[in-house]
Structure 1
Amino acid sequence: MDNTHLFQTYSTLLFSVAYRTLGTATDAEDIVQETFADLLQAGLPPQVNNMKAYLCKIVYNKCNDRIRETIKERQTYAGPWLPEPILTDLSEQFLDRESLATAYLLLLQQLSEMERTVFILREAGGFNYREIAWIVEKTEANCRQIYRRAKQALASQPPAERLDTPHLKPLIGQFVDALQNGDLNKLVEVLADDVVFAADSGGQVKGALVPIRTSVRVSQFLMKTSSMIPHDMRTEFEQVNGNWGLVLMAGTDVLYVFSFQIVRGRIHAIYATSNPDKLAYISRQLRLT
């Protein structure tokens, strides 16, 4: 199998694993490119019985290297850190879209490095425990235990509404209408009482540097900030991280991306990304549509 065929066959899987591991699409894309560049330069070893596992092992090692390189950067990051938003309606490549949700990716980041890797390889990669054990260099029994721990840790995540839930997009529409019309009471109605608003500006754009909680406080903050948005900015509905989200644009420039966690018909979390570095990937996706 030549390098082009390998890329066509496995690049989507490798990106999916790397993105869930890192939470950064640009880094995930770089790692996939580096993996195939290394193969092109060095060639495949003579005996590779499981190409999928072999490539994922390379990606696993590169992801760990990238995580170690960015530890200091994450520790000194200005304000909340959110995963890079991505569009997920461009193809059927993301088989498990629920595991791409922003809230879910944030929970993955709270797992230990090994728990996160084993869980992603099992859930997103579809590997059996023997394959996972070879990739992470643990025993099968250890991998089973690690997977159970990770699954238990993620069980606290409330079941979010699926993309095909009929009222999902209209609910976000009500959220937008309330902001545009300055209707504070209507905005409070669509938010859960314990809603959290987290904004990732990376210190490059003016924004909240700590999460804001409760429907009243979040509504008041959003009303205040929305009144300062330029009139020529337009709001587009897009499928962001596996569910309906909002992309705010001025001309062809993406300025904000909103993703939501919706549970039982109300918005439980709002994630706003305005860090220009984190909008580069989704901006490129939008230019290709």
Structure 2
Amino acid sequence: MEPTLETLYTTYRGLLQSIAYRMLGSITEAEDIVQDLFIAYAQSPTHAIQNEKAYLIKMVTNRCINNLKSARKQREVYVGPWLPEPQVSSLEERPDDSFMQREHISYALLVLMEQLSPVERAVFILRETLDYSYQEIGELLNKTSTNCRQIFSRAQKKLQPELTDATAKADLAERLSISFIEASRTGNFQHFVTMITEDAILLSDGGGRVKAAINPIYGRERIYAFLHGIHVKRDASYQVRLIHTNGSPGILIHAGEEVYAMIAFQPDATGEKAQSIYFIRNPDKLSHIHLQ
């Protein structure tokens, strides 16, 4: 008996949205693509489909590849650095509340994945997060299994800095977050900046919507000056709290129900200090965050 559209939607929506989010780096766009996918599915002849799950994954993957190709042109005129939309949850939420939480990809890895071509990104996600065989990936993308293996190998090399000990990275992210929160309370960021590399980089994404650094900020001293300047000018009502962002500790800054920023970190090769600081300010990328 052929499953109903409602059954397919209930069964696979979370999986499809997680794939789309990892492909696009946007929760909003992922939700839109999956919604449009099911509308198209309802209007198409489906009697010949033997494996609905594989068919839906192929549909969402191809739609995301096409979306990425056009998105890259749009990002050429984006104001300041473009960063992915963070997936934020409170520390109280259980890690198995959803597929996206169970199979999370770190925020830093999402940033690095911007280096990949759309096809490289698709192969990496299908292999790394869904454990698909190269043959299965080849069938989805109309490529040979050998070609998919080569594409995956190339992607791995580009992402290697973030494909290391997840426990150590999470521990560093938590220590960085706690130090930042303490610095925000006292106004002294000296200890925090000792936990970042000398040549660290801070990227601030305001998207032209809010005030943010249009250019990357390089070096420990300049990052210190930037953070100190923000602290001096910030509204006294702002609160800084520890949260989970894409499964790892991060920082949320808010005033009441209004979210000001989300901060995440990428460790250096040693895993002992932060190499990059990601400062997400664009309201469009924070609107889905619901404070508890």
Normalised by the length of structure 2, the TM-score is 0.88
Gaps of 5+ in 1: none
Query: Contact 2:170–2:248 (CA<8 Å) still a contact in 1?
Result: no
Are positions 1:13 and 2:42 aligned together?
no
SS of 1:70's equivalent? Answer: helix
Gaps of 5+ in 2: none
SS of 1:138's equivalent? Answer: coil
Which 4+ residue blocks in structure 1 deviate beyond 4 angstroms?
163-168
Query: Contact 1:196–1:270 (CA<8 Å) still a contact in 2?
Result: yes
Measure the CA separation in 2 of the matches of 1:166 and 1:120.
24
Q: 1:162 Cα deviation (Å)?
A: 2.9
| 2:216 equivalent in structure 1 | 211
Measure the CA separation in 2 of the matches of 1:240 and 1:104.
12
- Map 1:192-231 onto structure 2 (within 5 A): 192-231=197-236
Offset from partner CA, 1:93-122 (integer Å, 9 cap, x none): 23333xx22221122111122111111111
| 1:116 equivalent in structure 2 | 121
Offset from partner CA, 1:225-274 (integer Å, 9 cap, x none): 12111001112211012211111112211121111224534333211111
Q: 1:221 Cα deviation (Å)?
A: 1.1
| 1:268 equivalent in structure 2 | 275
Normalised by the length of structure 1, the TM-score is 0.89
Query: Contact 1:102–1:271 (CA<8 Å) still a contact in 2?
Result: no
Q: 1:150 Cα deviation (Å)?
A: 1.4
Matched letter for residue 21 of structure 2: Y
- Structure 1 residues 152 and 165, CA, compared in 2 at 3 Å: closer, same or farther? closer
Are positions 1:41 and 2:53 aligned together?
no
Measure the CA separation in 2 of the matches of 1:186 and 1:221.
15
- Structure 1 residues 167 and 277, CA, compared in 2 at 3 Å: closer, same or farther? closer
| 2:264 equivalent in structure 1 | 259
| 1:76 equivalent in structure 2 | 77
Measure the CA separation in 2 of the matches of 1:243 and 1:48.
39
Offset from partner CA, 1:176-226 (integer Å, 9 cap, x none): 212331224223222222321110000111111111122222111100112
- Structure 1 residues 167 and 133, CA, compared in 2 at 3 Å: closer, same or farther? closer
CA RMSD of the aligned region, Å?
Answer: 2.2
| 2:99 equivalent in structure 1 | 93
Are positions 1:57 and 2:58 aligned together?
yes
The share of aligned pairs that are identical, in percent, is 35
Measure the CA separation in 1 of the matches of 2:276 and 2:113.
17
- Structure 1 residues 158 and 51, CA, compared in 2 at 3 Å: closer, same or farther? closer
SS of 1:239's equivalent? Answer: strand
| 1:247 equivalent in structure 2 | 252
Correspondence for 2:6 among 1, 4, 7:
4
